Amino acid sequence: MDISRFPRTPLAHLPTPLEPMPALSKLLGGPSLYVKRDDCTGLAMGGNKSRKLEFSLGDALDKGADLVITSGATQSNHVRQTAAACAKLGLVFRCVIASPLEHSPADYGRTGNVLLDRLFGAEINVASDTDEATARAVKSLVEDARRTGRRAYIVPLGASDAIGSLGYVDCAAELLAQCESMGLEPSHIIVATGSAGTHAGLLTGLRLLGSQAQVVGIAISGTSTAKEERVRSVVSGLIELLQADRDLISRDDVRVLDRYVGAGYAMPARSTILALRLLARTEGILLDPVYTGKALDGLIDLMRRRELPNARDVIFLHTGGSPALFAYADEFDRTAEMPAETCSG
């Protein structure tokens, strides 16, 4: 598997650690749990987008871009890391953000990721929360760039096209090498599935390298059907880009669960907050309420229900996101007196 022919610019601290979670494993009654710490990629407090942006912005630089445009939700981890990467690379960065919440806390649009976006010099444009409004705003920014003679490069939502997802094809090789050195045989890898590039890239990389570890996606919004189709779409683009065998990944290889979505995107269920608190108090690791908290909620529930058949070494892919914690203080206040052990199931 050679992806060296694709333009790439170094942004992330790699390899990220693969660590055991003995206290959580014991609490849940096994099997052994490990966490792949992609919250430790370094750029802008870390996260999974750093790996993707190495390829997305590598492509942008290769094409002579001097301006990068992207979009995301108000507390977008993707926007935060793209803003930092552009600052590092000397690229002008403009973004469109939209609140996914009908009623948001007073500081939701000022703290967390938004505060960091501004520190990195992002030019922020706010749109109403519709895909159409966001698309119109992005189109307007592109037209403005054209009028002013700039070379604009659009990074899609979550950098989750085939180019960006190469970051997780590469991560699969890194992860398998770590497992080999630690004597692990991963049976399942749990990941939050949103725009699906991380899930699709990881699954494609694993299969290209001969691993049959099952990637289980935990939907952070929408339905299983929609997310699985999104994963398959990105996988298809990757296979074309890599000129790989179209039968590399079967339909059954793509698995996403939607039982942990709660009320929707950026709206954590009580069990999400409790799962997040449980990991903080057992392993000293911070998650976020939008992505990784829901993914851990799913992992805990799957283990308690014994729904990971023939599980051996189970890996939780930590995709970052902890800066968003500060925008959700009210959620933690509401669960302050609830025992963490009541989360999931």
| pLDDT for the residue 336 | 63
| pLDDT for the residue 103 | 85
Same domain, 247 and 328: yes
Same domain, 33 and 54: no
| pLDDT for the residue 345 | 42
Query: What positions carry a catalytic annotation?
Result: 76
Last residue of some domain: 158, 182, 213?
A: 158
| pLDDT for the residue 330 | 85
Same domain, 36 and 168: yes
| pLDDT for the residue 199 | 98
| pLDDT for the residue 337 | 55
Distances (CA, A) of 261 to 19, 64, 323, 324, 335: 27, 40, 20, 17, 18
Range(s) of the domain holding residue 144:
49-158
Last residue of some domain: 139, 158, 177?
A: 158
**Structural domain tally of the chain?**
2
Whether 6 maps to a domain, the answer reads no
Whether 3 maps to a domain, the answer reads no
Record the pTM.
0.95
Same domain, 195 and 208: yes
Q: Which has the closest alpha carbon to 276: 262, 256, 295, 302?
A: 295
Same domain, 200 and 107: no
Same domain, 311 and 221: yes
In the chain the first and final C-alpha atoms are separated, in Å, by 40
| pLDDT for the residue 1 | 77
Taking the C-alpha atoms of residue 151 and residue 291, their distance in angstroms, rounded to an integer, is: 33
Taking the C-alpha atoms of residue 36 and residue 168, their distance in angstroms, rounded to an integer, is: 12
**Which letter, b or e, does each residue of 139-166 get, where b requires 16 or more Cβ atoms within 10 Å of its Cβ?**
eebbeebeeeebebbbbbbbbbbbbbbb
Last residue of some domain: 99, 132, 158?
A: 158
Same domain, 291 and 192: yes
| pLDDT for the residue 107 | 87
Same domain, 97 and 231: no
Whether 11 maps to a domain, the answer reads no
Average pLDDT per 10 consecutive residues for the chain, totaling 345 residues: 94 98 96 98 98 98 98 97 98 96 88 97 92 94 96 98 98 98 98 98 98 98 98 98 96 97 95 96 97 98 94 97 93 68 50
Same domain, 76 and 32: no
Q: What angle do CA 207, 184, 217 make, to 5 degrees?
A: 50
Same domain, 190 and 219: yes
Whether 141 maps to a domain, the answer reads yes
Same domain, 38 and 154: no
